[in-house]
Structure 1
Amino acid sequence: MCTLHRTCHLRRERLQNGRSKEQRLVVRQPDIQREPVKTSIQESGASLPRHIPEERYRMQSKPLGICLIIDCIGNDTELLQNTFTSLGYEVRCFLLLSMENIIQILREVAHMPRHQDYDSFVCVLMSRGNSHSVFGVDPSPSGLPLDHIRRMFMGDTCPYLVGKPKLFFIQNYVKTEYHPEDCGILEVDGPAVNNVDSKARQPGPCMVHREADFLWSLCRADVSLLERPSISPSVYLQFLAKKLWQERRRPLVELHIELNNSVYNWNRGVSDKERYYVSLQHTLRKELILSCN
């Protein structure tokens, strides 16, 4: 064999050997990937500090937000106005409204661009109603459904409050339509809203769900409490104001649990017609403390 042919032959052998090595590596690669990867404690993050502060909602704007008070009973407005003003809210009070005016004010407040400059929103509503709706001072066959109030402030209809806590405290005086043993139950982290047949827009890049960041505190009492010669303040709202005055630096959900216990203790010493039934539903994603001052 001449020198030229021998050189070409050696090159072909080297090329074939190189390819066969690459092929063997490809064949063995799945076997290598099946080996468990061992990670040190430092790499896995197991050595992170034990006490990591829980994430909280930002509550630093001045004012903290708008507090809307709609009182169709005319008994607790002053106490609540003083309470939420002391917490740092811009309080707006409306007394003895018709159903049409209630809807109009809720819509106007829900669409206020000023919400974008604030860190939260509060709505306190006192009215007669039924198990699913509230009434104005005018006679109404059906009233305003509570679900409709929540929808007005969801992410797709109230984009200025997306990602911010929206707090609702509702005192509803109703005809007894339920058994006492079915009420007064505290529900935490439960679904705050019913499913709605509509396409939800996800506002903003954070993609927060339209139903997120709600706290919905609802208290029902018998309407006969309003038919007495002297109308007493709502026990529920009295306990709420007291808690917010005295323990505002604690998480709001914790305060509500204790409020629920206070109402329960009250119910033990009064007749069925004088009892208050409180429920809490929320979709808060973080810890909420109304005041750090």
Structure 2
Amino acid sequence: MLLLIDGNPIVHRSFHAIPQTIKTSKGELTNATLGFTNSVLSLIEHFKPESIACAFDTSKKTFRHERYEEYKATRVEAPQGLYDQLPRIFSILKALNIATITAPGYEADDIIGTLVDMAEKAKLRGVIIVSGDNDFIQLVSPLTSFYSISRGLQKAVTFTPEKVKETSQLSPEQWIDYKALRGDPSDNLIGIPGIGEKTAKELLLKWHDLDGIYTHIEELKPQTKKKLIENKESAILTKELVTIHRQVPLDVTLKDLAYQEPNNVEMYNLCTELEFRKLAERFENSALF
């Protein structure tokens, strides 16, 4: 089983969920590092993966920004205290022997999409994506599941093709067309203003995808037709930008993601330095592994 973790959402959730009073005696802020470490350990305990990777966005703009300058423009910049903890988080992942992957010009979504593509071409069954971003629904297939932690690890939901259909009436392949119609405010993508969830689903259930809807544009209600015609370029752009790329040039193979035992000594030293006493004890005793 291959476990693919979208690192950024877990870091952000940990930073905002755990008090910023969590610091070392020297004053180093460690709340995100502590939360992230506990979350990753919980995921390993739960899934017991044979292979694992953790993908991160970079600070550089991506091809999506080049295509649309306003992409994610409405997002509030994360506090510096969060960014300052990333080196520690990467050190933790290294000590856990978890492959950490970034790709300038691409998002973590695209890295994971590429790894999913590699795994499915190899007929690897049991790929699980962990994230709070529902864009990953588009990658769900008979071989790949999406473990959504949008409401936290304790309330995680596993999306299979059947679960996607049950909860949304749509297939995973239709998710990008749904987003094209509805837009995505979190990424500052407009879609088609005035098209609600009900209408979007009705259109897709009848005509399958965006191309099918525009092919039958003359058969739509006047108001819906007007909205679709006036905002066609926006819908096409939104679909393009929400589509996860699956051909990112990565210098890794599936064999590189094979999960090894953590470096318990290094984890103990890191946890001791960060003053994570309970975690340090676990790695000192090596009982967890």
Tell me, yes or no, whether TM beats 0.5. no
Structure ID, larger Rg: 1
Structure with the larger strand share: 1
TM-score, normalization: structure 1?
0.26
TM-score, normalization: structure 2?
0.27
Structure with the larger helix share: 2
